[in-house]
Amino acid sequence: MEAVLATLGYVLSPDRREVLMIRREGQPDDFHLGKYNGLGGKLEPDEDVCAGMRREIREEAGIECARLELAGTATSTSCRWCSRPGRASSTASCRGPTAAR
């Protein structure tokens, strides 16, 4: 299986005391249905991690990010989400985007 790069980000309030989370309400076969998570998704072929994270946050929450902080990267081929066809097996995480509405 070829690795697909994806993002996972957390939007913090200006005082960094609150985090915007989304509740998964997509498809009934989604293993994470009803659970809360940060924002993100697979990168487009021509995107770098920061451009993809900004796009995902804009698409999912309508927020334009003024700043991103890379928290790190993780690789997984054993999680249920990653092992399904067409799903990511490599993940890059950004945290702490300061939102500018």
Instruction: Give the phi and the psi of residue 70 in degrees, each rounded to 5.
Output: -75, 120
- The structural domains of the chain, with segments of one domain joined by +, span 5-100
- pLDDT band, residue 29 (cuts 50/70/90): confident
pTM tops 0.85, yes or no = no
Residue closest to 63 by CA, chosen among 32, 33, 40: 40
pLDDT in tens, 41-86: 889 989 998 999 999 999 999 999 888 888 877 766 655 544 444 4
Distances (CA, A) of 70 to 23, 42, 47, 96: 23, 16, 16, 8
Q: What secondary structure letter does DSSP report for 46?
A: T
The CATH class of the 5-100 domain is: alpha beta
pLDDT at 93 over 90: no
Residues facing residue 72 across a β-bridge: 93
Chain mean pLDDT for the chain: 75
